[in-house]
Structure 1
Amino acid sequence: MATYKKRGYKPKTKEEVVQVEEEQSTTAEVFNTLDETASKTEDWVIKNQKYIFVIIGVVAAVVLGYLGYNEFVAKPKQTEAMNDMYQAKKYYNEAVNGTSKDSLYTLALNGGEGKLGMLDIVSEYSGSQAANLANYYAGMAYLNLKDYKNAVTYLSDFSSDDEILAPMAKGAIGDAFVQLNQKEDALSYYEEAAKMRTNEFTTPMYVFKAGVIALELGKADKALTYFKDIKDNYANSNEAANIDVFIGKAQVLANK
């Protein structure tokens, strides 16, 4: 067993002399091994420094390239796309709030006055945030123009974490499927829209729509659950105004 020896310790017996010599020899071997390893590492670095510098250069180029792309390409492109979308968005807002809706929705889609429409933004700025938002506007415009298949296509290409827009897009796909008489699909999208966010606007809206479609599909128990959810948790919502009538209908059908 190894024992601790103070500095300046002198061996007193032959056995201690041998032990000290062995320890010194072992220590020397350890340092020699470390020196050899360090030397081999230095040799490897010297021999391969060309490749090391190339690797470092590639990594640096990728990082700098990414930062440069974001700063000098992506950001200006996004600004340009949003500027180009301004007129199309203006047409869309006028369609929502005014008259001549069909013609204004068509202008929002295809452009006017020499400006791009939402479809142009989707095509020319593919992958940008502006193109993503244009998918939403295009889908909603098609929904209002009763072109339900295109509505589903463009709304499905839209993605967002927004509290309102995210469930609205899913719910609008449900609306399109109702018009296409694909009620099972509509129910699925309404349920998804209702679960995406919890708020006082979109949640009761899509819970209610899910309940109505479930009732039409003969799923009275599911409809009853949705209607009671509105009564219990969203009593101040617009959907709660006549909810007792729908609860009564669902109860009658559920008990048949």
Structure 2
Amino acid sequence: MATYKKRGYKPNNKEEQQAAVEDHSTTAEVFNSLDEGASKTEAWVARNQKYIFIIIGVAAAAILGYLAYEEFIQEPKEAEAANEMFMAQQYFDTALQASGAQSDSLFNLALTGGEGKYGFQDIIENYGATNAGNLALYYAGMAYLNTNQYQQAIESLDDFESDDQILAPLAKGAIGDAFLQLDQPEEALSYYEEAAKMRDNNFTTPKFLMKAAVTAIKLGDGATAEKYLNKIQNEYPDSVEANRVKVYLGQAQTMQQ
């Protein structure tokens, strides 16, 4: 059983005196070891002080350089790119409201520029590392798709990156549209399926489930089509696509008989 020794306690016999001496000696050794370790550390620091300062200096310079780049280079470039892209966006939005030759003309102006202003192609080339440059890839891809330039649409949309709930699946699904127009329904189906899985919402998910179902019917795969159509009906009953399920569901089931 352990005993507690009060402050000022003095050993009464030789055994206790010996134990006290040993305790004192052990404590002294511990402190001596700590002193020696500290001395060795100080000596190492002294010998390598120059290199330590160099490492610290390089790290500090990297951090300051990054912050300076963000504040004085990247942020102004982002603002400049967004400003330069404004007219191209106007052409694109107007093209969506137009039709026929007028629509094609406006989409081409959005791509190549007009009135001395940049088009999406220029934004991609000159501001590719900015958010605006990335968004220009989406706009350009959609403009190419609407002007029947399907291979260019695929390339632009494939380079576009986004975590957005709507834009990310729309871009992926638009690649499917381009492949479908190129008469490559197998590739189109895989992109529609991927687009449907990317985000779960009442707009893009049923939209691309329906496109996947219709494409599966085109490929003669009634089972896959039925699976996607039932998913729309059961999980997205309030979607626009749900109103079209019965039309295609009959076809999908007939194909399996």
Instruction: Give the TM interval when normalised to the shorter protein.
Output: over 0.9
- Kindly report the root-mean-square deviation, in angstroms, between the aligned alpha carbons of the 2 structures: 1.5
Alpha-carbon separation, structure 1, partners of 2:238 and 2:23: 85
1:29 aligns with 29
| Equivalent residue runs for 1:178-189 within 5 Å | 178-189=180-191
1:38 aligns with 38
Are 1:56 and 2:62 an aligned pair? no
Q: TM-score, normalised by structure 2?
A: 0.94
| Equivalent residue runs for 1:77-92 within 5 Å | 77-92=77-92
Which residue identity is paired with 2:28? A
Deviation at 1:61, TM superposition (A): 1.2
Deviation at 1:238, TM superposition (A): 2.3
Deviation at 1:2, TM superposition (A): 7.8
Are 1:241 and 2:231 an aligned pair? no
Deviations 1:136-184 (A, max 9, x none): 0111111011010000000000111112111110110000000111111
Deviation at 1:119, TM superposition (A): 0.7
1:11 aligns with 11
| Equivalent residue runs for 1:102-117 within 5 Å | 102-117=104-119
Alpha-carbon separation, structure 1, partners of 2:239 and 2:29: 82
Alpha-carbon separation, structure 2, partners of 1:154 and 1:9: 85
1:70 aligns with 70
Secondary structure of the 1:242 match is helix
Alpha-carbon separation, structure 2, partners of 1:163 and 1:95: 24
2:234 aligns with 232
2:221 aligns with 219
Deviations 1:198-233 (A, max 9, x none): 222211111100000011111101101111222222
Q: TM-score, normalised by structure 1?
A: 0.94
2:140 corresponds to which of 138, 141, 159: 138
Alpha-carbon separation, structure 2, partners of 1:179 and 1:105: 18
Which residue identity is paired with 2:228? Y
Deviation at 1:11, TM superposition (A): 2.2
Alpha-carbon separation, structure 1, partners of 2:229 and 2:192: 14
Alpha-carbon separation, structure 1, partners of 2:232 and 2:30: 77
Deviation at 1:58, TM superposition (A): 1.4
Alpha-carbon separation, structure 2, partners of 1:6 and 1:93: 88
Q: How many residues align?
A: 255
Which residue identity is paired with 2:45? V
Alpha-carbon separation, structure 2, partners of 1:90 and 1:221: 44
Deviations 1:58-84 (A, max 9, x none): 111111111111111111000000111
Secondary structure of the 2:115 match is coil
Percent identical among aligned pairs is: 58
Deviation at 1:4, TM superposition (A): 4.4
Deviations 1:76-124 (A, max 9, x none): 0000001111111111111111240111111111111111110111111
